[in-house]
A = this chain, B = another copy of it.
Amino acid sequence: MKEKLTIIKIGGMIIDHPQRLHQLLDQLAALAGKKVLIHGGGKLATELAEQMGVEQKMVDGRRITDTATLKIVTMVYAGFINKNLVASLNARGCAAVGVSGVDGKLIQAHIRKHSTIDFGWVGDIDTVNIDLVTSLLTGQYLPVIAPITSDTSGQLLNTNADTIAAAIAVAMSRLFEVELVYAFEHSGVLRHLQDPDSVIPQINSSLYQQLLEEQVITGGMMPKLQNAFNTLSQGVEKVIIGDAVQLTDLLSGKVGTTIIHE
């Protein structure tokens, strides 16, 4: 039987709230077994851009990564956020190692090609090489991964952290029984968007189809769930979506939404 591995992706909203972040890190440090943390960015990159006078261009709600913005996200994600997370985990007795998709050729990407929009230095994933992450886990380290990747020429690229988490989860499922947690600011997948108590505890493929037909699942939750089912069809055991400060209860199934293939 494969050893269990918990991969946790935390979003920007939690990084922006020190108190919530510390609650999460307490639970993460106390979590038994092998684990990987993947983090996004949060408001810090936007704030730094403002402070530096770098205008942020958005097309269809998506940030365009020009050269100045690539520098900013590399500094903020792989530098400031990553090293603070690592130092905080170390201080909790959990030896962490902060890397990015660039390190150990973890993720090789190519610049996004789109027929009408120039996204700038945005990378879409070609390959995942799990050697480094596996070797860190064997050394009893917790890998903390920032969403910066590069192409084969050494050009850095900005890559979506949700996508990186999914790609690493799929690749690691060859060696481990992988649970992937999308930890964010909501309590799970909600039946009624305005009602935080309407969390759907479990979603399988047939319920997912039904929820899509009933238009319960809309907006930003659609790609998240599609992503989840994609990873499940490629070997990931379970995907959990829920509130980052309830990590322990998310993993035990007490709260949040668990997504299974079935």
Contacts and interface: CB of A to CB of B under 8 A. Distances in A.
Interface of A: prevailing SS: helix
A84 interface: yes
Q: For chain A, which range describes its interface: under 10, 10 to 19, 20 to 34, or 35 or more residues?
A: 35 or more
A130 interface: no
Contact of A104 (B79, B88, B97): B97
B102 A99 contact: no
A129 to B, nearest CB: 9
A131 interface: yes
A257 interface: no
Contacts of A173: none
B74 A102 contact: no
A83 B82 CA distance: 12
Nearest to A150: B87
A152 B91 contact: yes
A99 B83 CA distance: 9
Contacts of A131: 139
A132 B97 contact: yes
